[in-house]
Amino acid sequence: MLMRLGRWLRLLGQDVANPEGISDSELLRQAKREDRTIITRDNGLFQACRSAGVKCLFIRSCKISDQLLEMAREGVPLQLDPERCTLCNTLLQEFECEQSMKWECPGCKKLYWQGGHCRKMERMLEMIRSRRDENIRWYS
Ligand SMILES: [Zn+2]
């Protein structure tokens, strides 16, 4: 449900696990064990987290830019920081190639480099940052 947001959070340098095919109670145990915050749009899961004492963020929006804005308000820095593979969450290895920086995922071999899609993402983050700051002014 929040896969796209998860991939974005990895681009922002966050460690995002995406356990599949496990029950809610197993998910809660894993979050507790690994000291993770569960991000969900499922109100039932959110309530279960609260009663189990697991950190949880309830995402209201279904638009990716608004979801990122919600994360920014929770203190996630909106800076591209490609530390982890967006597909499998493995730590990337940086290397220099033809005078530019590239990153390779040792897990699934996906390659990352600074190119057009980076600039597009930077523009989107820029737009969200300005909205975040507007809202801070609005409420202060
Ligand atoms: Zn990977």
pLDDT at 135: 64
CA of 50 relative to ligand 1 center, distance in Å = 32
Q: Give the angle 136-15-135 at the CA atoms, nearest 5°.
A: 10
CA of 2 relative to ligand 1 center, distance in Å = 18
Residue 45's Cβ-side half-sphere holds a number of Cα atoms within 13 Å equal to 21
Rounded CA separation 66/91 (Å) = 27
Nearest partner of 4 among 84, 55, 65, judged by Cα: 65
The three-class DSSP label of residue 130 is helix
90: which DSSP letter?
P
CA of 8 relative to ligand 1 center, distance in Å = 14
CA of 72 relative to ligand 1 center, distance in Å = 25
Spell out, as residue ranges, where the chain has pLDDT lower than 50.
140
CA of 84 relative to ligand 1 center, distance in Å = 8
pLDDT at 140: 44
CA of 89 relative to ligand 1 center, distance in Å = 6
pLDDT at 99: 73
